[in-house]
Structure 1
Amino acid sequence: MKKFFALVMVSVLGGIFTLGAYKLFLEEKQPVVVTSQTDTPTFLPTSNIGNLNSILEAPDFSLAAENTVNAVVHVKNVTLSSGQFTLQDLFSGRQPQQRAQMGTGSGVIINSDGYIITNNHVIKNTHELSVTLNNNKTYTAELIGADAKTDIALLKINADEDLPYVTFADSDTVKVGEWVLAVGNPFNLTSTVTAGIVSAKSRDLSGTSSQSFIQTDAAVNPGNSGGALVNTNGELVGINTAITSQTGSYIGYSFAVPSNIARKVIEDIMEYGNVQNGILGIEGVPLPIDDRTAERLDIDISAVKGDTEGIYIGGVVEDSGADKAGLKKGDIIKEIDNIKVSKFSDLTGHLSAKRPNDVVQLKLSRDGNIETVPVTLAKRQTYNMPLVGLVKNAKAADLKKFKAPNGVKILELNDRYEEYWRRNGITEGCIVTAINDEKVNSVDDIQRILKNNMTSEMRIELINANGEKERYNFR
């Protein structure tokens, strides 16, 4: 028994000795760290913290939205349309009854007196117009004027108080990527605000370089037309006008008339009763130019091979501002008023906000050299007249040549009817003296007469190459 206990004691002492030797000679020593309770803890970034920071840094649209919704109105347009013509109407000799149809859109109050800007297509063919404010007050609206080309119209209501309104911003300074708000009444849902960014500028949807929209990805749907596109300060940068969609509803892109163009149109309507267009007077082709276009326009493509951006001047209109400023075929427009010109809509968009006698600064590339040329814009001198072709205001010498007391001069014959006219002795230089029995003295007269023509018939009076007056009837 004593031997057993002795053996156990020897084993225990051996274990203690071995463990002590390991701790003393073999195990690595670890530093001791002391953390005070008053130390500031360290937080490591996580995905959740990052999202929180993004939310805190996101722009706040609440003030801009609050200031805008009270100045955006609901426009209701009642039009009259004839019902379907039935056999019963035919046998009884009755005319189809007219039916009232309601269309809706949006509008923007632009001053405290009740002037409202909207789209022309919102009020087109109107029989009765009404406007409902954000406070649910409804007023009868008067149509002051409209311009179909820019799709802008001006309304007026007479309220019993000063109205909230939106101030205009300079749309030329809007940048791609900038935040914007679209405010309107989609699907009759009043005071709807959506946000997005400016996706592109100077966007042309027609393919004729006659438009220059601001493109955004703010959600715009039917009923938003005529509503406000504002920046984060609540200032008007555009009038929401169109969407691209195969379904009729928003799928990602919407388009607005820039505020500079809209403002100029309504100021012209208020001051002159119509839109005053300042014309540069060139025939231009955007760069780069392909071989087919170069051949068609007789352009030496080798001369512009190194240029990939700008507008190549293929021709200058006689007596235009460009002609008087010395612009010539072969010049390349690089900038207008320090705004880069890379496509035709950049140029036309800027010019749409100008009037006759305004001066623009053109930066040109001419024979490899860069020049800046001031050009005074002129009133429209030419017009593409249906059936006839391109006509321009005639000078005294043009009228004297044909002993004509009035009229406009034919510059180019309509391609489709050119053979017909030449066969009857009508050539370039001949004079159009009257349309529908009304004398014409300018291209403005032609536009006015054709605009008021309620029938499909057109009667044209001309003086041919032999100085003989002839009349033509078209149906």
Structure 2
Amino acid sequence: MRSAARRAVGLGSMLVAGSMLVWTSASAAPAPDSFAPLVKKVTPAVVNISSEHAVSAQEQMQGMPDLPFDIPEGSPFEKFFKQFRDRMPHGGPQGPQGEVHALGSGFVIDPSGYIVTNNHVIDDATNIEVTFDDDKTYPATLVGTDDKTDLALLKIDAPKDLPYVEWGNSDDIQIGDWVLAVGNPFGLGNTVTAGILSARSRDIHAGPYDDFLQIDAAVNRGNSGGPTFATDGKVIGINTAIISPSGGSVGIGFAVPSNLAKDVIAQLKENGHVERGWLGVKIQGVSPEIAEAMGLDEPHGALVAEVVSGSPAEKAGLEQGDVIVGYNGTEIDSVRDLPRLVAATPAGKDADLRIRRGSEVETVSVNIAKMEPEQVAEASGMSGGAQSSPAAAFGAQLAPITPDLRQQFQVPDDVEGVAVVGVEPGSPAAEHGLRVGDVIRQIDREKVSDPSQVETIAEKAKQENHNSLLLLVNRSGDDLFLGMKIGKA
């Protein structure tokens, strides 16, 4: 079971933060004399969420994560934080089934009782309760979850209409705008902190559609699922994670943008699950070396490394090596832009893709299909050497693909090319990511099957004063492109 109060979402010390509430204006507004009017307006709709989770005996023995600071023995705070420790996840079993309580935050988006929170707050919960600022508590039912965006929707039944908040437009908020965070840190109850929008479009490797807002308003454990408000009192984000070396706030928090969350929550409310569009391509970013090798003015777009057989992309005529630079009129600046845009397209709808193929730019119409559950491919281990011929052009030892090498490197039967059996440290091959076990299939769109071909093509490129080569490489059954810098003749 994942802890609702703490979750690793990236490198090292990335922690799920929970209820970050951010407020900011679409146009840069001065700080108000007091945030009190805004706080009074929005806090009645912000709730504390308590959930029960069944745990095994082994999980019970793991104990609670350390507090983000030391409490001296005998300190007046020792008793207070001992109570907090007992209420947090992994605080110990309660009853013969071995249950723990987790705390988080959420907010009401509809007067009939729909409540938004993070998926990790209520994941695998056996019981969920929601408490309002006036201490009224209601049992909650789970309407639906979406683990790819870490969002969930709850429903409570109340005897009268509930206070609620509205979605804002997260695209309108600017870096430097004021933000306000409201949530339930450490189980203390509604707590308000203020800050600014520090950055946007952050990828913290939490999921395939990362596009987080970064804020510096103080956010801590237990804040997960809380709202991020603009100065007009509308929600522009759902607080989800923090980076911290200690576990406490250091002013780096992340919120799911409202423009991403709105559609997810609407689908959860209507269907109980989320349906996404599917194009059927494996893509990668365009590095400066790849851009140079392909003759692009700048490194942007999504490079098609592979077209899935039978997919909408294949039916529309997309090809390996195409660079997708636009989707339904929206520019694809980063490779991360395309998956979000495709996922938001309803199945059965046509989409216009602007692609760069060679030196030409053209528009292709694609009928988007429904995304099915993904199949996760496992990477094969690579090892060993073989009889090889050196390719001095970029510091790789290459060899023809023999039956022994095919078995050693687990090269698929339908993959042909030249096997990489050694990479010289510090060489262009090492610097640009070529690995032992890779199979070079093409160089500058020319198929290769012998190491001598690689040397010939590289030497020709140097004679023609080309600075980079475009390599199509198969790695563990997946194709990808690498840009390779080479020395001039």
Give me the TM-score of the superposition, normalised by structure 1.
0.61
Q: Residues 264 and 354 of structure 1 are in contact (CA less than 8 Å); yes or no, is this contact kept in structure 2?
A: no
What residue in structure 1 maps to residue 41 of structure 2? Answer: 67
1:239 Cα deviation from its structure 2 partner: 0.9
What residue in structure 2 maps to residue 35 of structure 1? Answer: none
SS at match of 2:98: strand
1:374 Cα deviation from its structure 2 partner: 4.6
What residue in structure 2 maps to residue 200 of structure 1? Answer: 199
Paired residue type of 1:288: S
What residue in structure 2 maps to residue 216 of structure 1? Answer: 215
Q: Find the partner of 2:57 among 64, 83, 91.
A: 83
> How far apart, in 2, do the equivalents of 1:155 and 1:100 lie?
21
What CA deviation, in whole Å up to 9, does each residue of 1:99-126 have, x standing for no partner? 2211100011110110111111101221
What residue in structure 1 maps to residue 306 of structure 2? Answer: 315
When residues 306 and 75 of structure 1 are mapped into structure 2, their CA distance, relative to the original with a 3 A threshold, is: same
Q: Residues 82 and 97 of structure 1 are in contact (CA less than 8 Å); yes or no, is this contact kept in structure 2?
A: no
**Structure of higher CA gyration radius:** 1
What residue in structure 2 maps to residue 191 of structure 1? Answer: 190
SS at match of 1:171: coil
1:62 Cα deviation from its structure 2 partner: 4.3
What residue in structure 1 maps to residue 170 of structure 2? Answer: 171
What residue in structure 1 maps to residue 158 of structure 2? Answer: 159
Q: Residues 78 and 101 of structure 1 are in contact (CA less than 8 Å); yes or no, is this contact kept in structure 2?
A: yes
Q: Residues 114 and 163 of structure 1 are in contact (CA less than 8 Å); yes or no, is this contact kept in structure 2?
A: yes
1:185 Cα deviation from its structure 2 partner: 1.2
> How far apart, in 1, do the equivalents of 2:108 and 2:170 lie?
18
| Residue 369 (structure 2) pairs with residue 378 (structure 1) | yes
When residues 57 and 289 of structure 1 are mapped into structure 2, their CA distance, relative to the original with a 3 A threshold, is: closer
SS at match of 1:98: coil
What residue in structure 2 maps to residue 281 of structure 1? Answer: 280
What residue in structure 2 maps to residue 303 of structure 1? Answer: 294
SS at match of 1:267: helix
> How far apart, in 2, do the equivalents of 1:373 and 1:120 lie?
37
1:204 Cα deviation from its structure 2 partner: 1.6
> How far apart, in 1, do the equivalents of 2:182 and 2:354 lie?
37
What residue in structure 2 maps to residue 331 of structure 1? Answer: 322
Paired residue type of 2:237: G
What residue in structure 2 maps to residue 355 of structure 1? Answer: 346
SS at match of 1:323: helix
Q: Residues 145 and 272 of structure 2 are in contact (CA less than 8 Å); yes or no, is this contact kept in structure 1?
A: no
Q: Residues 286 and 300 of structure 2 are in contact (CA less than 8 Å); yes or no, is this contact kept in structure 1?
A: yes
> How far apart, in 2, do the equivalents of 1:358 and 1:215 lie?
33
Paired residue type of 1:345: R
> How far apart, in 2, do the equivalents of 1:138 and 1:208 lie?
32
> How far apart, in 2, do the equivalents of 1:102 and 1:233 lie?
34
What residue in structure 1 maps to residue 119 of structure 2? Answer: 120
What residue in structure 2 maps to residue 452 of structure 1? Answer: none
When residues 167 and 208 of structure 1 are mapped into structure 2, their CA distance, relative to the original with a 3 A threshold, is: closer
SS at match of 1:170: coil
For structure 2, the 5+ residue unaligned runs are: 1-28, 61-94, 381-405, 415-489
1:340 Cα deviation from its structure 2 partner: 4.0
| Residue 257 (structure 2) pairs with residue 258 (structure 1) | yes
Q: Residues 202 and 345 of structure 1 are in contact (CA less than 8 Å); yes or no, is this contact kept in structure 2?
A: no
1:155 Cα deviation from its structure 2 partner: 0.7
> How far apart, in 1, do the equivalents of 2:341 and 2:36 lie?
32
1:220 Cα deviation from its structure 2 partner: 1.3
Q: Residues 316 and 329 of structure 1 are in contact (CA less than 8 Å); yes or no, is this contact kept in structure 2?
A: yes
When residues 235 and 358 of structure 1 are mapped into structure 2, their CA distance, relative to the original with a 3 A threshold, is: farther
> How far apart, in 2, do the equivalents of 1:158 and 1:117 lie?
15
SS at match of 2:166: coil
> How far apart, in 2, do the equivalents of 1:81 and 1:380 lie?
33
- Structure 1 range deviating more: 195-204 or 251-260: 195-204
Q: Residues 212 and 348 of structure 1 are in contact (CA less than 8 Å); yes or no, is this contact kept in structure 2?
A: no
> How far apart, in 2, do the equivalents of 1:208 and 1:368 lie?
34
What CA deviation, in whole Å up to 9, does each residue of 1:420-463 have, x standing for no partner? 9x99xx988xxxxxxxxxxxxxxxxxxxxxxxxxxxxxxxxxxx
Q: Residues 226 and 241 of structure 1 are in contact (CA less than 8 Å); yes or no, is this contact kept in structure 2?
A: yes
> How far apart, in 1, do the equivalents of 2:30 and 2:215 lie?
22
How many residue pairs are counted as aligned between the two chains?
326
Q: Find the partner of 2:335 among 324, 344, 348.
A: 344
1:187 Cα deviation from its structure 2 partner: 1.7
Paired residue type of 2:311: S
What CA deviation, in whole Å up to 9, does each residue of 1:158-192 have, x standing for no partner? 01110111111233444333332222111223222
Q: Residues 149 and 207 of structure 2 are in contact (CA less than 8 Å); yes or no, is this contact kept in structure 1?
A: no
- Structure 1 range deviating more: 217-226 or 187-196: 187-196
Q: Residues 236 and 257 of structure 2 are in contact (CA less than 8 Å); yes or no, is this contact kept in structure 1?
A: yes
Q: Residues 77 and 123 of structure 1 are in contact (CA less than 8 Å); yes or no, is this contact kept in structure 2?
A: yes
What residue in structure 1 maps to residue 356 of structure 2? Answer: 365
What residue in structure 2 maps to residue 226 of structure 1? Answer: 225
What CA deviation, in whole Å up to 9, does each residue of 1:114-165 have, x standing for no partner? 0111111101221211000122111011112212221111111001110111
> How far apart, in 2, do the equivalents of 1:231 and 1:337 lie?
29
Paired residue type of 2:46: V
> How far apart, in 1, do the equivalents of 2:339 and 2:201 lie?
9
1:216 Cα deviation from its structure 2 partner: 1.8
SS at match of 2:336: helix
State the superposition RMSD in angstroms. Answer: 3.4
Paired residue type of 2:346: R
Give 1:446-465 correspondences, 5 Å limit.
none
Q: Residues 184 and 190 of structure 1 are in contact (CA less than 8 Å); yes or no, is this contact kept in structure 2?
A: yes
SS at match of 1:383: coil
SS at match of 1:110: strand
What CA deviation, in whole Å up to 9, does each residue of 1:205-257 have, x standing for no partner? 12875422222222211111000012221112211101111211111211112
Higher relative contact order by CA 8 Å / sep ≥ 6: 1 or 2? 2
| Residue 123 (structure 2) pairs with residue 149 (structure 1) | no
Q: Residues 38 and 233 of structure 2 are in contact (CA less than 8 Å); yes or no, is this contact kept in structure 1?
A: yes
Paired residue type of 2:305: G
Q: Residues 261 and 352 of structure 1 are in contact (CA less than 8 Å); yes or no, is this contact kept in structure 2?
A: no
When residues 360 and 246 of structure 1 are mapped into structure 2, their CA distance, relative to the original with a 3 A threshold, is: farther
Q: Residues 228 and 239 of structure 1 are in contact (CA less than 8 Å); yes or no, is this contact kept in structure 2?
A: yes
Kindly indicate which of the two structures has a greater share of residues assigned to helix.
1
> How far apart, in 1, do the equivalents of 2:45 and 2:149 lie?
22
Q: Residues 106 and 223 of structure 1 are in contact (CA less than 8 Å); yes or no, is this contact kept in structure 2?
A: yes
| Residue 31 (structure 2) pairs with residue 58 (structure 1) | yes
1:97 Cα deviation from its structure 2 partner: 3.9
